Chain A
Amino acid sequence: MNGLESFGQDPWWLVGLKALAIFVILVLLTLFSIWYERKVVAWMQVRPGPNRNGPFGLLQSLADGLKLAFKEDLVPKAADKIVFLLAPMISTVCAFTAFAVIPFGPVVSVFGVETPLQLTDLPVAVLLVLATSALGVYGIVLGGWSSGSTYSLLGSLRAAAQVISYEIAMGLSIVAVFLTAGSLSTSQIVAAQQGGQEVTLFGTSFTIPGWYALLLLPSFIVFAISVVGETNRAPFDLPEAESELVGGFHTEYSSLKFALFFLAEYINMVTVSAMATTLFLGGWQAPFPASWWPGANEGWWPVLWFFLKVLILLFGFVWLRGTLPRFRYDQFMRLGWKVLVPANLLWIVVLAAVRAGTQQPEWSAQWVGMIGGAFLLVLLVIWFWPGRKKYEQATEPDTGLGGFPVPPLDLQVPPSPRVKRLTAEREPVSVSAGDDATAEGKEG
């Protein structure tokens, strides 16, 4: 008995229908979120954004996608042809597969067949999402490597180091969810978040939802930060830092191959938002107490709640992109390894200890909670205590950035030998007297 009996019973046509639905939903969501991102960033920057194609510019990304499919496909001579072709396929297929285990809703009736709104569920469903996101990096790494370009290679190396670093933080942040839910299956994690807790505070009692984002807030924060790194999105978009690496790993890609990389990136964004919804925000359950509207968690309504939560999280991604500058690579790695990973390890151990403590009958749960809470508070204060040194005015102007050789500020650019040669070749013809000839000579 593992609670997954309702999966794997669908007739073949229903499996096909669900798989098709996943593809359609993901492609539509990608098209929509590109438009959404451009529009939101435009509003943040006080400009209209795409508004030509279709109502409110909604068809803009469709037009862009179609245009890419009609473009010439350039393969550089230095590229490894087969790997160059395989890389975008790996990225896309992995991105699509991860969505198979995301629950959209409860058991509903589709053409008379009772079935859960989820393609499939496994006892290790969350591991599958982690695995596909890790495998998707192969697409990026191989794409950058096979391009035969230095920019691409640097971009793909950065991507590899970045994703493995932030995957650890992400994996560790999910451990707290497994601890609390006691399962790795997505549908059961959603079920475990069902029902709120009646809390009485200052005489008024209210229901807090059983979402893990509230119960396991540190995990949710770490998860939210690390998925941004995992999906290569701003402010952690170092693998495709356009001001440093041209296009990063996809510098040499064009036409449909580029479009597939683009698709994979946006699908990954949607997937991690869906994962955050499932693991931390109650999945498809309505964002209000069940007593308000008893029917809200039945039938097809949950699909609405699910997509609402996903869209709000996607807005978070866009918001980050619109407001934060890109991290420097060393800052980025420092955040991952020196903040997220140790904080996560500590949190897991504390959580396990607290849960073990509350299981002992002789210990009062409130006492354990209070001691643990005080301990955590002290740790947080120590952790976030501003340790930055006060800025001191330098006694003499800094000639280098921490000892790195940089040109002096009053640098006189020596005349280029090429310019000299050009002037020598373009001797003004002495026949025509006048201002034109002299002016030309000066220009050269």
Chain B
Amino acid sequence: MGTTYLASYSTLGFLLVLGVLVSIAAFAANRLLRTQAPSPAKQTTYECGLDPVGDGWAQMQIRYYVYAFLYALFAVESVFLFPWAVVYDRPGFGVTAAAEMGVFVAVLALGLAYAWRKGVLRWL
């Protein structure tokens, strides 16, 4: 059992390594095949034909940050929901498990509702 269990994961690791190797091989082939004639004009940042002004940084809306927070909330919720969903149908769970998860989801839904009412989910 133990060896089989690890073997499934090592196959995955093998595929990861293979993927890295394939992309390295592709880059190597590209290096051999491509032309190379660098010039200062080619190395400028693209700005629709004009000379670039300033550096590449731009200010963004704070909303992105708030959404990242909300994501953390729901990602953690998913972490609890997945194992619960898998064992839910097994004997010994049933109504109690459903009610408990209902309470848990309701607490999180309250968080979402609070964010909604606060206007955080409005982009403009």
Query: Which residues of chain A have a CB within 8 Å of any CB of chain B?
Result: 4-5, 7-10, 15, 19, 22-23, 69-78, 85, 88-89, 92-93, 96-97, 100, 119-122, 127-128, 147-154, 157, 160-161, 164-165, 167-168, 171-172, 175-176, 178-180, 182-184, 246, 251-252, 255-256, 260, 329-330, 333-334, 337-338, 341-342, 345, 348-349, 352-353, 355-357, 359-360
Contacts and interface: CB of A to CB of B under 8 A. Distances in A.
Contact of B90 (A180, A182, A337, A342): A182
Main secondary structure of the interface of A (DSSP, over half): helix
Contacts of A348: 81, 105
Given A69-B29, A72-B36, A89-B20, A168 B121 contact: no
Given A157-B60, A168-B71, 17 more contacts: A4-B4, A8-B11, A69-B26, A74-B42, A93-B16, A97-B15, A127-B82, A128-B12, A150-B58, A161-B64, A179-B85, A179-B88, A246-B46, A337-B112, A338-B121, A341-B112, A349-B101
Main secondary structure of the interface of B (DSSP, over half): helix
Contact of A97 (B12, B88, B90): B12
Interface residues of B, number: 72
B51 interface: no
B98 A334 contact: no
5 contacts: A121-B8, A150-B57, A164-B68, A184-B86, A337-B116
Nearest to B40: A77
Contacts of B52: 78, 149
Interface in B57-96: 57-58, 60, 63-64, 67-68, 70-71, 74-75, 78, 81-82, 85-90, 94-95
Interface in B1-28: 3-9, 11-12, 14-16, 18-20, 22-23, 26-27
A353 B19 contact: no
A152 B56 contact: yes
Contacts of B16: 93, 97
B43 to A, nearest CB: 4
B15 A8 contact: no
A153 B82 CA distance: 34
Given A19-B15, A93-B16, A345-B105, A183 B86 contact: yes
Nearest to A1: B1
B50 interface: no
B97 to A, nearest CB: 7
Given A8-B11, A182-B86, A330-B124, A19 B48 contact: no
